[in-house]
């Protein structure tokens, strides 16, 4: 985590804020939020998928990170997406109430990043579809943030 926070993330932020953002913008954006306790502003690069005005983010190794907890209940955020900074509303989706949205977002996520299916123990069937039972099990374990922009 030290390498990610001190070396990789600053480099990725620099690229995403530069004219060279096209190298990464299709898969990575910057999300800016305020810490609920500290009030301090934080900006992180995160992998994402987009569906119209909705952006879905699955924090990698969520159990080792705490930033996403700030979005529980919703919060105004900014995203730097494909070279443009836009305001949005981010919310941590709850398994008890938002399972349909989590399932939709996670399905989109795995379609865009199929290599993550194995990491989440989701088999890909002969027809190219994700195994429905595996997908249902996996969504119960992921944390997902939904950002609505515009």
What is the Cα–Cα distance from 30 to 46, expressed in whole angstroms? 6
What is the Cα–Cα distance from 71 to 65, expressed in whole angstroms? 13
Taking the whole predicted model, whether its pTM rises above 0.75 is answered as yes
pLDDT digits (tens, 9 = 90+) for 91-122: 999 999 999 999 999 999 999 999 999 999 99
The region that residue 125 occupies, defined by phi over 0 for left and psi between -120 and 50 for alpha, beta otherwise, is beta
CATH number of the domain where residue 117 is located: 2.30.110.10
What is the Cα–Cα distance from 31 to 60, expressed in whole angstroms? 14
- Positive/negative CA dihedral, 54, 58, 63, 67: negative
Look at the chain and report how many structural domains it folds into: 1
Domain range for 142 = 2-149
pLDDT digits (tens, 9 = 90+) for 121-137: 999 999 989 999 999 99
């Amino acid at each position: 985590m030290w390498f990610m926070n001190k070396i990789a993330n600053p480099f990725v932020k620099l690229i995403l804020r530069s004219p060279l953002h096209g190298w990464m913008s299709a898969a990575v954006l910057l999300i800016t939020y305020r810490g609920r306790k500290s009030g301090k502003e934080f900006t992180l690069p995160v992998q994402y998928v987009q569906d119209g005005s909705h952006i879905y983010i699955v924090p990698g190794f969520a159990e080792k990170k705490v930033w996403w907890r700030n979005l529980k209940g919703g919060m105004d955020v900014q995203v730097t997406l494909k070279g443009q900074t836009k305001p949005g509303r981010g919310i941590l989706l709850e398994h008890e109430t938002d399972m349909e949205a989590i399932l939709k977002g996670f399905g989109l996520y795995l379609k865009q990043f199929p290599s993550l299916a194995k990491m989440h123990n989701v088999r890909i069937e002969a027809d190219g579809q994700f195994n429905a039972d595996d997908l249902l099990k996996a969504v119960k374990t992921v944390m997902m943030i939904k950002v609505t922009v515009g």
